Copies of this chain bind each other. A is one copy, B any other.
Amino acid sequence: MADRSTQTRPAGRKDARRNYERLLTAARTAFAEHGVGASLNDIARTAGVGNVTLYRHFPTRQALLEALLGESLRGLHTRSDELLASPSPHQALTTWLTAAVEHAMAYRGLVDALVDSLGDPASELHATCQAVKTAGAQLLARAQRAGTIRPDLDASALFSLIASVAWAAERTPAHRDQLLAVMLDGLHLRVDEPDQTGWASGV
């Protein structure tokens, strides 16, 4: 639980450390250009490093993603803690959901990797994704207690919702805001305002 932000950066030999950094920057540009499915051999090549060196530092593609995005994704946890102190539970949740969707769109194809990771405890991204999930869970629970969000919904369903919107928005960016709006509206309870007529309170 403590010091989640310190990932295993190699402290050993100087060239190892240098190769590590080179691989990260090469991966960053490759993912940005070709999506998370970019060729790993290509990344090693442009980093000026043997491909086995890449595999030693990052045994899987997800390890590479963790190194690149872990910090940013864990930032959603911090953000959630902050928002828990904000006055409107509902607004806090919607703000956070918008940010979460944004984070999940960092690279083309990233959402697939995130969803896979959540379901695979062996993945290097697993812990990070679960941190995101529990971050959302807190805001979700608070909003549900406040009565503005449909009660039949748990944290993992919320994660699926985030992923589904991020996936579609990545494919058709023009629809991003509408997709988000529909999701947020769908989460919103119908009877969200205090009843102003007294009409419905009888039964």
Contacts and interface: CB of A to CB of B under 8 A. Distances in A.
Main secondary structure of the interface of A (DSSP, over half): helix
A64 interface: no
Number of copies: 2
A98 interface: no
A152 B164 contact: no
A24 B181 CA distance: 41
Interface residues of A, number: 30
A202 to B, nearest CB: 13
A43 to B, nearest CB: 22
A109 B103 CA distance: 23
A90 B103 CA distance: 34
Interface in A135-173: 150, 152-153, 156-157, 160-161, 163-165, 167-168, 171-172
A186 B185 CA distance: 5
A157 B186 contact: no
Interface string A12-42: 0000000000000000000000000000000
A175 B156 CA distance: 9
